[in-house]
A and B are shown apart, each in its own frame.
Chain A
Amino acid sequence: MKNSSPTLAVTLNTFREAVRDRVLYNLVAFAVILIASAVLFGEISIGIQKTILINLGLSSISVFGLLISIFLGIGLVFKEVDKRSLYALLSKPVRRSQFIIGKFLGLNLTLAVNTALMSAGLWAALYYLARRFEAPDLFIWVAIYFILLQLFLVTAICLFFSCFSTPLLSAIFTFLLYVIGTFSADLRAFGEMTQNASWKALTSFLYYLLPNFSDFSVAAAVSHGKPVAGGLILLNTLYTLCYAAVLLAASVAIFARKDLK
């Protein structure tokens, strides 16, 4: 077969880089252990063992996914520029946009595989505890899917900052945006409460500008066996696609004009 797509080649190499990173294994192993330990927490929580397990398991997947995405994401472009490994790569027939998109997809592939591993740990713990699965348990998959969508957004944010900032600053900016984004619904609610039109306009503007992570948090509902609306799944998917696309376009625009000194 003649040459594969440059984007695919960059994607697979980014995935390979992440897979060979020992820190990643430590994080995944730690997450799986934490999920397993949720069984013990469940043992001392009479009557709500399963709720505790699902809550702790999903939180572990989310927190460790976030750590991995920030840890790897901040260096995606910066490390290649800093170490000058890009020089040889970008003198091959690959566009800078293909490089950026390949890096983004490669890290997301890594996150998807890691999330799958951690989810397998959660399901194994769940089976160990309950010895059977029930229909509402299927919504755990939706919660995991939402975590993945969040991680994709975090990766896009990291990549964006990585195009022009140092890893430390990128990590700080991304983490701050994540925290603000988790409370973005409260930000809008605060604006609604004030009588000041300027404040209202400002909070609304920030609500739409900053990433909205609050709609992705369904772990509490799912752990109590509550369903997730199909509309929310569709909206969150579309929101992630659009927001990530805008961030990717901005990253490409910045990187396309960057002098690699």
Chain B
Amino acid sequence: MAAIEIEGLSKDYQTGFWRKHPWRALDGLSLRVEQGEVFGFLGHNGAGKTTTLKLLTGLIFPTAGTATILGKPLGQPETFRHIGYLPENPYFYDYLTAQELLDYFARFFPLTSDERRLRRDAVLEQAGLDGFRNLPLRKFSKGMLQRLGIAQAVLHQPEVVLLDEPMSGLDPMGRREVRDLIVRMKTEGKTVFFSTHILSDAEALCDRVAILNRGKLAGVGPISELLKTLPGFEAVIECSSPEALYEIEPLAAKPVSASGGQYRMEVTEQNVRPLLALCERDDVRLLSLNPLHTSLEDYFAELSSAKDAAPVRARGASS
């Protein structure tokens, strides 16, 4: 049984005040997410990511198509027992404290008062909010609210966790903590389905990703398969003398970029051997040499420039 199965899901919104015009936010999305997967949902603003997550959580209703979570229909209390959801830019009741909010939400699940307290305390600690449990939420920063949002999503230990832009508003430490949390969820066997703009997070965390463009599925699969291998290599070197750098620079296919004493360069296949020969010198050190791929940024840029979103690769996506 799939964790999430989506079949031809579409959503139209009505725009305009007097004369209503339908606007298709999601167009015939079909997708299957297996249990235990960390699945990334990528796309530009307005691509349909949040719409999909809202459809999966029953906050909005589909114009066409169906979806199930763990084989159960959407929007039913029985389904909600098995899913956790972090909305985009979450807002919680600012008259409550973190502890009160989690207590309130825990009351919707079949838990004893002792279990509620244990779960609440555990997720507060996981989210790094233990010291702020009695602080009113109106005093929480955006990052703290985001972490609380994740805490409430995993409060009842759901099998499927849906996260809408979980890294949004977090500082680098916060992002790292959320990344660790997602990795921990995966080791616990949970399915994590998250939307993100931050491509490096998707690359670091996801077993597979789906890419949405203008409401349509543009590609789905492991990131390594979605990104094309290009001719040539990317080399990162350390160079301690200007003379050596003068000799290396002509080997680069594009201008060399420098950062923190390291030089990043693209080299053609023919120039790899001369570069390796230069790296034999004492003042040059090769740090890495990898085949060139299109980056996710390039992939996105390619999609943006395309007039219509034609499926790029649809491995794992139902037709």
- What distance in Å separates the Cβ of B225 from its nearest Cβ neighbour in chain A? 32
Q: Which residues of B contact A84 (CB under 8 A)?
A: 87, 89-91
Interface majority SS (helix, strand, loop, mixed), chain B: loop
B133-165 at interface with A (beta carbon < 8 Å): 149, 152-153
Residues on B close to A: CB < 8 A? 13, 54, 57-61, 77-78, 80-81, 83-87, 89-93, 95-96, 100, 104-105, 107-113, 149, 152-153
Cross-chain contact of B111 among A3, A21, A95 (Cβ < 8 A): A3
A93-107 at interface with B (beta carbon < 8 Å): 93-95
The 3 closest A-B pairs by CB, nearest first: A93-B77, A91-B85, A87-B87
**Given A17-B93, A87-B90, A93–B108 Cβ distance below 8 Å?**
yes
Interface majority SS (helix, strand, loop, mixed), chain A: loop
Cross-chain contact of B58 among A1, A6, A16, A90 (Cβ < 8 A): A90
> Which candidate, A68-76, A158-166, A253-261, is the interface stretch facing chain B?
A253-261
Q: Which residues of B contact A86 (CB under 8 A)?
A: 59
Q: Which residues of B contact A83 (CB under 8 A)?
A: 91
CA distance A3 to B107 in the complex (A): 6
**Given A92-B105, A259-B61, A260-B60, A2–B112 Cβ distance below 8 Å?**
yes
Contact between A90 and B59, CB atoms less than 8 A apart: yes
- The interface on chain A, measured as residues whose beta carbon lies within 8 A of the other chain's beta carbons, has a size of 28
Nearest B residue to A82, CB-CB? B91
CA distance A86 to B87 in the complex (A): 10
Residues on A close to B: CB < 8 A? 1-4, 6, 9, 13, 16-17, 20-21, 83-95, 257, 259-261
Could you name 23 residue pairs across A and B whose Cβ atoms are closer than 8 Å? Answer: A1-B113, A2-B112, A3-B109, A3-B111, A4-B107, A13-B93, A13-B104, A16-B100, A84-B89, A85-B92, A87-B87, A88-B92, A88-B105, A88-B152, A88-B153, A90-B57, A90-B59, A94-B77, A94-B108, A95-B77, A259-B59, A259-B60, A261-B60
Cross-chain contact of B104 among A2, A9, A21, A90 (Cβ < 8 A): A9
Most buried by B among A2, A88, A89, A261: A88
- What distance in Å separates the Cβ of A88 from its nearest Cβ neighbour in chain B? 6
Q: A16-B100, A87-B87, A260-B54 are in contact. List 7 more A-B contacts (CB 8 A).
A: A3-B111, A4-B107, A88-B86, A91-B57, A93-B108, A257-B61, A259-B13
Cross-chain contact of B95 among A2, A4, A20, A89 (Cβ < 8 A): A20
CA distance A86 to B92 in the complex (A): 8
Contact between B92 and A6, CB atoms less than 8 A apart: no
- What distance in Å separates the Cβ of A200 from its nearest Cβ neighbour in chain B? 37
**Given A13-B93, A83-B91, A95-B77, A88–B61 Cβ distance below 8 Å?**
no
CA distance A114 to B173 in the complex (A): 47
Nearest B residue to A89, CB-CB? B105
Most buried by B among A13, A86, A90, A92: A92
Q: Which residues of B contact A9 (CB under 8 A)?
A: 104, 107-108
**Given A2-B112, A94-B77, A259-B61, A88–B107 Cβ distance below 8 Å?**
no
CA distance A74 to B131 in the complex (A): 36
Q: Which residues of A contact B86 (CB under 8 A)?
A: 88
Contact between A92 and B108, CB atoms less than 8 A apart: yes
CA distance A21 to B96 in the complex (A): 12
Contact between B104 and A87, CB atoms less than 8 A apart: no
- What distance in Å separates the Cβ of A86 from its nearest Cβ neighbour in chain B? 8
- What distance in Å separates the Cβ of B191 from its nearest Cβ neighbour in chain A? 15
Q: Which residues of B contact A94 (CB under 8 A)?
A: 77, 80, 108
- What distance in Å separates the Cβ of B12 from its nearest Cβ neighbour in chain A? 10
CA distance A89 to B90 in the complex (A): 11
Cross-chain contact of B85 among A3, A13, A87 (Cβ < 8 A): A87
Contact between B83 and A88, CB atoms less than 8 A apart: no
Nearest A residue to B79, CB-CB? A93
Q: Which residues of A contact B83 (CB under 8 A)?
A: 91
Q: Which residues of B contact A17 (CB under 8 A)?
A: 93, 95
Contact between A2 and B80, CB atoms less than 8 A apart: no
Contact between A260 and B109, CB atoms less than 8 A apart: no
Cross-chain contact of A3 among B84, B96, B110 (Cβ < 8 A): B110
Contact between A88 and B108, CB atoms less than 8 A apart: no
Contact between B108 and A3, CB atoms less than 8 A apart: yes
CA distance A20 to B152 in the complex (A): 22
CA distance A88 to B164 in the complex (A): 11
